[in-house]
Amino acid sequence: MSDQLSRVFAALADPTRRDMVARLTDADATVGELAAPYAVSMQAVSKHLKVLEDAGLVTRTRDAQRRPVHLEAEVFDLMTAWIERYRQRAEERYQRLDAVLAELDETKTPMEETAS
Amino acid sequence: MSDQLSRVFAALADPTRRDMVARLTDADATVGELAAPYAVSMQAVSKHLKVLEDAGLVTRTRDAQRRPVHLEAEVFDLMTAWIERYRQRAEERYQRLDAVLAELDETKTPMEETAS
DNA sequence: AGCGTTCTCAACCAATTGGTTGACAATGTG
DNA sequence: CACATTGTCAACCAATTGGTTGAGAACGCT
């Protein structure tokens, strides 16, 4: 699971982490602020943040005792690129299928109109 | 991890499963065909397929002993919707930031041109 | 009916994950 | 300096994951 794309997908597979990312699109936040809504320890949240950081989704700086967390939205592009690449391949395939069906239709239409 | 979006992200977090999905954009395939390139047992591949199926990324039908696997590309939209939603929120935030900076610039420019 | 092929189910195992608690590092404030 | 605040590190634990092997189900073929 060592490549970044895998880490990004794995990071977002957890609803709590997805929710954190969602909230970070609004504003940077401290670990405590991020932890507040959840019924888990701050240590657990700290671990989640490490996962997000290892995936490159988030960076952490320092402000006195606080560790502000910042979303790095560019990493989304990694996923989007992968998804769109294969979605497009899948769609091309359907277009080829449509073409084949259309061709079948062309060769059939002149012959037998009332076929089952 | 019970919601579908989580299952989809988790499914694609594994490089082997991502590769399977990639190959399935070309054509449907049997379990054996899918297993061929990997140095793992067919049972392991069968498990991977179960993960993909539970995520809704794949459906399996029956053709004699064979279990053809078919990609359900629409599920990609689930991810794309999530990603684009928050990417957009993040971008709006940058636009607000830009606006703030621009405003600061406006109030500053008429006053002090040579400031540090 | 018997055989080969394709694939799944069950049991097991090591590694990883997501959580806990306890100790403590780092920093601002009295 | 002492203390409160904010957060990390380390050890531990239960559940999940990704792999294995062995057994057998489902089907076509002769």
Question: pLDDT tens digit string along A46-77?
Answer: 999 999 999 999 999 999 889 999 999 999 99
b/e sequence A49-67, b meaning 16+ C-beta within 10 Å: bebbbebebbebeeeeeee
Question: Cα dist. A12→A9, A18, A106, B81 in Å?
Answer: 5, 5, 47, 14
Separation in Å, CA of B110 to nearest CA in chain A: 30
According to the model, what pLDDT value does residue A6 have? Answer: 97
d(CA A2, CA B8): 19
d(CA A89, CA A13): 24
Q: Output the average pLDDT for chain A.
A: 87
* B5 chain-A contacts, CB cut-off 8 A: 18
Which nucleotide lies at the shortest CA–C1' distance from A44?
C19
According to the model, what pLDDT value does residue A1 have? Answer: 56
Beta strand A69-71 with B58-60: parallel, antiparallel or unpaired?
unpaired
**Residue pLDDT, tens place only, B50-95:** 999 999 999 999 998 899 999 999 999 999 999 999 998 888 777 7
Q: Can you give the pTM of this predicted structure?
A: 0.85
According to the model, what pLDDT value does residue B74 have? Answer: 92
According to the model, what pLDDT value does residue A100 have? Answer: 72
According to the model, what pLDDT value does residue A78 have? Answer: 93
**Residue pLDDT, tens place only, A11-31:** 999 999 999 999 999 999 999
What burial class does residue B16 get, using C-beta atoms within 10 Å of its C-beta: 0-12 exposed, 13-18 middle, 19+ buried? middle
**Residue pLDDT, tens place only, A69-86:** 999 999 999 999 999 999
Is residue B56 within 8 A of residue B73, CB to CB? The reply is: no
Say if residue B113's pLDDT is above 50. Answer: no
Q: Which residues of B fall below an 8 Å CB-CB distance to A?
A: 1, 3, 5-7, 9-10, 12-15, 18, 21-22, 25-27, 71, 73, 76, 79-80, 82-84, 86-87, 89-91, 93
Q: Which nucleotides of C are covered by protein (CB under 7 A)?
A: 4-10, 16-23, 25-28
